[in-house]
């Protein structure tokens, strides 16, 4: 829990720092980029706020995106519930049904590699 809290605090600090930096860049950077335009403080403030808003939403996107990665279970060496369900489905298939599925000629072949694999499995008819 401490590691998770530490990561969250780091994300918050990073967001505040980058949004503040974008505002400062927009506010003071316009003076250095174009000193001949004597812009009033309101316009400089607006430029800084626009840049800070863009950076904020970009940071928010990555924070939300990384939240999904934090929620994934860690690999503990044991299969997850989803793996267990898949295994149960494979194990519970009856052998008669498998033979029936393999013997049908209406099997859809979606790629050349699958077609070659199917041909390699079928016994060749000798003349």
Task: For 7-54, give the DSSP string.
Answer: HHHHHHHHHHHHHHHHHHHHHHHHHHH-TTS---HHHHHHHHHHHHHH
User: Which residues form the domain of 62?
Assistant: 2-71
Give the pLDDT score at 76. Answer: 60
| Structural domain contains residue 76 | no
> Taking the model in full, what pTM does it have?
0.52
Q: Running DSSP on this structure, what letter comes out for residue 78?
A: S
Give the pLDDT score at 98. Answer: 54
Q: Are residues 9 and 46 in the same domain?
A: yes
- For the chain, the domain total comes to 2
Give the pLDDT score at 13. Answer: 95
- Could you tell me if 20 and 68 are in contact, meaning their C-beta atoms sit under 8 angstroms apart? no
Give 82-107 pLDDT, tens digit per residue.
555 555 555 555 555 555 555 554 44
Give 13-59 pLDDT, tens digit per residue.
999 999 999 999 999 999 898 888 888 999 999 999 999 999 999 99
| Structural domain contains residue 127 | no
φ, ψ at 45 (rounded to 5°)? -65, -40
| Structural domain contains residue 56 | yes
Give the pLDDT score at 28. Answer: 94
């Amino acid at each position: 829990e401490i590691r998770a809290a530490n990561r969250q605090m780091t994300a918050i600090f990073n967001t505040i720092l980058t949004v503040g930096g974008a505002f400062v860049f927009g506010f003071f950077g316009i003076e250095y980029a174009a000193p001949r335009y004597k812009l009033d403080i309101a316009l400089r403030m607006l430029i800084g706020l626009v840049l800070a808003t863009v950076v904020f939403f970009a940071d928010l996107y990555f924070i939300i995106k990384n939240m999904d990665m934090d929620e994934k279970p860690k690999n503990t060496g044991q299969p997850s519930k989803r793996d267990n369900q898949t295994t149960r489905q494979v194990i519970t298939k009856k052998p008669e049904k498998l033979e029936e599925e393999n013997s049908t000629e209406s099997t859809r072949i979606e790629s050349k590699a699958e077609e070659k694999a199917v041909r390699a499995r079928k016994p060749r008819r000798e003349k």
